[in-house]
């Protein structure tokens, strides 16, 4: 565990909680998830990608990193990521955060992020990458600094009334809802090996269709797939599947925490794709989430360029925006802390390309 003081100023105007002059702000970073993490997550407005389950679903393998930003004894910010080793070091030197820190009412959130990066630099990090999944704010990217690429995410503000959710859909998508209700489609939640197989199957079908359009992608089933979806947990994942008369149509893996849910992966079988089952399944997922008190469902993201009709992912943009979703601009940042170490990686990549037959 490591702490370091940070000069971040006072809490923003309008925060009614008292501040104590002279008590600075500092990050506490550790490899184990604090027992009170749910309390911190809730008070700071964190989401799925600030949880251990979020790291399993959205980060590479590595040693977990959980950070708490303290104002005196009070936690006013949280961050979660992983540290990983490389061939040029005996200890983890590369740190990845799936999303930006969740910070309460700070006027300068970028300074809070910079202070977290400094803590990790002191601990020996060579680079820190901060991605933008379900991000509530965008970090500044300095001139000459690498970002993680502009993205768009598609967020539906949930309503308790299923008919209100259906009215958000574009006309063409609403017809798919009507088809599912007319034909008696139903939803199952899957766990274990069955969930992993179902998700792999629809992902492979989606990859095959994409390859035919010249937009190839690699099928990767998140490690979180197949986890238990039992009630009472503070965060987790649930695999939803749409069926018709014993035949699977579509499957979606959803991560959730603190009143918000995120579409992690999914796809449709050939039959489900032809009948538009994915649109129906997402509607049923949103209805279920709204009944449980969730306020937002993030359909996931695309590159910002997907809005262009010539982009390979324009079809995905049209599909996700057809649910009446709010389009949210997202951007991450990558901080290089040890140029010499990162230079070794560039040389290794250059050599590898030269040796390729």
Q: What is the pLDDT of residue 225?
A: 66
| Residue 235 contacts residue 57 (beta carbons within 8 Å) | no
| Same fold yes or no, 2-149+331-355 and 154-325 | yes
pTM of the model: 0.86
The C-alpha atoms of residue 215 and residue 201 are separated, in whole angstroms, by 18
pLDDT in tens, the chain (357 residues): 444 444 444 433 333 333 333 347 789 999 999 999 999 999 999 999 999 999 999 888 899 999 999 988 899 999 999 999 877 776 788 899 999 999 997 677 998 999 999 999 999 898 999 999 999 999 988 766 666 678 999 999 998 899 999 888 988 888 889 898 999 999 999 998 899 999 989 988 887 887 777 666 666 766 666 665 555 679 999 999 999 999 999 999 999 999 999 999 999 999 999 999 999 999 999 999 999 999 999 999 999 999 999 998 898 999 999 999 999 999 999 988 877 766 665 766 766 676 666
Q: What is the pLDDT of residue 175?
A: 86
Q: What is the pLDDT of residue 214?
A: 66
CATH code: domain 154-325 is 3.40.630.30
Domain 2-149+331-355 belongs in CATH node 3.30.70: no
Q: What is the pLDDT of residue 206?
A: 80
CA distances from 33 to 37, 65, 98, 275, 282 (A): 7, 8, 16, 43, 31
Contact partners, residue 64, CB within 8 Å, separation at least 6: 31, 32, 33, 52, 55, 80, 81, 82
Task: Kindly report the number of other CB atoms within 10 A of residue 52's CB atom.
Answer: 16
The C-alpha atoms of residue 213 and residue 10 are separated, in whole angstroms, by 53
Q: What is the pLDDT of residue 17?
A: 36
Domain ranges of the chain: 2-149+331-355, 154-325
Q: What is the pLDDT of residue 19?
A: 33
Of 106, 25, 13, give the one whose Cα is nearest residue 67. Answer: 25
Q: What is the pLDDT of residue 3?
A: 45
């Amino acid at each position: 565990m490591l702490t370091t003081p940070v000069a971040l100023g006072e809490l923003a105007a309008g925060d009614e909680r008292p501040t104590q002059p002279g008590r600075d702000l500092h990050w506490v970073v550790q490899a184990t998830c604090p027992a009170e993490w749910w309390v911190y997550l809730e008070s700071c407005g964190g989401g799925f990608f600030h949880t251990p389950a979020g790291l399993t679903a959205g980060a590479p393998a590595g040693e977990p990193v959980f950070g708490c930003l303290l104002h005196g004894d009070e936690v006013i910010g949280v961050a979660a990521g992983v540290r990983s080793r490389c061939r040029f070091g005996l200890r983890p030197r590369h740190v990845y955060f799936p999303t930006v820190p969740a910070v309460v009412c700070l006027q300068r959130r970028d300074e809070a992020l910079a202070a977290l990066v400094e803590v990790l630099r002191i601990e020996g990090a060579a680079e820190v990458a901060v991605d933008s999944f379900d991000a509530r704010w965008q970090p500044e990217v300095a001139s000459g600094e690498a970002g993680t690429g502009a993205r768009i995410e598609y967020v539906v503000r949930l309503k308790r009334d299923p008919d209100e959710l259906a009215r958000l859909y574009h006309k063409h998508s609403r017809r798919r809802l009507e088809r599912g209700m007319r034909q008696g489609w139903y939803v199952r939640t899957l766990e274990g090996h069955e969930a992993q197989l179902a998700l792999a199957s629809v992902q492979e079908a989606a990859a095959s269709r994409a390859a035919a359009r010249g937009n190839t992608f690699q099928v990767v089933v998140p490690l979180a797939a197949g986890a238990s979806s039992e009630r009472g947990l503070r965060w987790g994942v649930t695999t939803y599947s749409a069926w018709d008369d014993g035949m699977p149509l579509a499957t979606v893996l959803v991560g959730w925490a603190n009143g918000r849910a995120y579409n992690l992966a999914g796809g449709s079988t050939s039959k489900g794709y032809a009948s538009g089952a994915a649109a129906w399944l997402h509607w049923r997922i949103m209805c279920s989430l709204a009944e449980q008190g969730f306020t937002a469902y993030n359909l996931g993201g695309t590159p910002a360029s997907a809005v262009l009709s010539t982009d390979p992912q324009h079809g995905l943009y049209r599909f996700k925006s057809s649910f009446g979703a709010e389009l949210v601009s997202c951007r991450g940042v990558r901080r290089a802390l040890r140029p010499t170490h990162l230079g070794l990686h560039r040389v290794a990549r250059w050599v590898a390309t030269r040796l390729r037959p």
